[in-house]
């Protein structure tokens, strides 16, 4: 398979219990094509080892190593999954010779295949250009069922990522690309951004968000004391869609929690508000797939950002599949 790297078993290590007390003892490393359709619930981790989009967007490169770093941190965490729930590492989609578009196409095919096999895909990036390929994987899967189901995108992020792709596609353009395709197909573009910062988006991006009818919560409101109000917005958004695609950009968090990202800032949000909102999204029963973007181990401090990403994943899977 082009643009694909099989899972690396050496990434998964930690305390040895011989009782599957830790996730490195739970996970099964299986080539993407060999992942089975399970009789019961199952989760597949899939890397998107590509930071070409970050490079094109003039960001700090290094996120290509993000997937393996997150997996390594996750493996050390305790396993609370029921024995009936399988956890697979399906390897990583790769990028060669700067061909980001080919990587996005490969990711799209992989996500569609996983959904067809009744897996819950969790994609680990890599730049936020992961969102374009991931969204299309979900869309292609739903289109194959011919039921006309709608996808709502919820993005935890400081940035809209609605830059126009006049010169090239990059990590700042995925949602603009999706919006333009929705316009051509005469379908609704459903997009909710949580944590938008005014110091991270110029006025033209706010104007684009307005023209595309994007719903967003500014960072000064995306705080735990406003949780009830935020949950009201989330509930209202989710009611308008059939499925939710969740994408978490780690550079939305304050650099106090996430220094290892492409565009760090001390002005981001905290993990506490993100965790509470995740409970609301998962509780809707509409979450179909998710990803975490912009993990850049080159700039991480004491593995802090990797631990944050792993803790977010741990929280999601624990909430989805309570023992």
Q: CA 62 → CA 9, 74, 132, 221, 261, distances in Å?
A: 22, 19, 20, 31, 9
Cα angle 28, 156, 190; round to 5? 100
Cβ-proximal residues to 85 (8 Å cutoff; 6+ apart), any chain: 40, 41, 42, 43, 321
Strand bridging mode 86-94 / 190-196: unpaired
Q: Are 198 and 218 in contact (CB under 8 A)?
A: yes
Helix axes of 130-145 and 174-185: crossing angle, nearest 10 degrees = 30
Q: Was 161 annotated as part of a binding site?
A: yes
Q: Was 242 annotated as part of a binding site?
A: no
- Residue written as tokens 């998107």? 48
Q: Was 128 annotated as part of a binding site?
A: yes
Cα 159 from Cα 202, distance rounded (Å): 10
Q: Are 161 and 262 in contact (CB under 8 A)?
A: no
Q: Was 188 annotated as part of a binding site?
A: no
Numbered residues of the known binding site for Mn(2+):
128, 157, 159, 161, 249, 251
Numbered residues of the known binding site:
128, 157, 159, 161, 249, 251
């Amino acid at each position: 398979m082009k643009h694909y790297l099989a899972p690396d078993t050496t990434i998964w290590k930690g305390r040895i219990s011989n009782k599957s007390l830790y996730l490195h003892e739970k996970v099964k490393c299986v080539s993407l094509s060999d992942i089975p359709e399970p009789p019961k619930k199952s989760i597949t981790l899939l890397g998107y080892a590509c930071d070409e989009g970050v490079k094109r967007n003039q960001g700090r490169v290094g996120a290509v190593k993000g997937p393996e770093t997150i997996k390594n941190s996750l493996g050390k965490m305790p396993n609370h999954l029921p024995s009936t729930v399988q956890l697979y590492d399906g390897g990583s989609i790769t990028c060669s010779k700067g061909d980001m578009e080919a990587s996005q196409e490969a990711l799209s095919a992989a996500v569609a295949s996983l959904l067809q096999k009744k897996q819950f895909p969790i994609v680990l990036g890599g730049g936020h250009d992961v969102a374009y390929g991931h969204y299309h994987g979900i869309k292609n899967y739903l289109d194959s069922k011919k039921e006309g189901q709608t996808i709502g995108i919820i993005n935890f992020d400081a940035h809209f990522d609605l830059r126009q792709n006049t010169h090239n596609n990059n990590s700042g353009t995925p949602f603009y690309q999706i919006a333009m395709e929705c316009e051509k197909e005469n379908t609704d573009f459903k997009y909710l951004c949580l944590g938008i910062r005014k110091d991270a988006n110029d006025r033209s991006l706010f104007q684009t968000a307005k023209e595309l009818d994007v719903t967003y919560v500014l960072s000064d409101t995306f705080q735990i004391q406003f949780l009830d109000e935020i949950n009201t917005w989330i509930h209202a958004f989710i009611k308008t869609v059939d499925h939710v695609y969740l994408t978490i950009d780690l550079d939305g968090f304050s650099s106090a929690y996430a220094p290892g990202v492409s565009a760090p800032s001390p002005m981001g949000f905290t993990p506490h508000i993100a965790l509470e909102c995740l409970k609301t999204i998962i509780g809707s029963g509409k979450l179909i797939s998710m990803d975490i973007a912009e993990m850049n181990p080159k700039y991480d401090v004491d593995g802090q950002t990797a631990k944050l990403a792993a803790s977010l994943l741990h929280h999601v899977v624990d909430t989805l599949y309570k023992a």
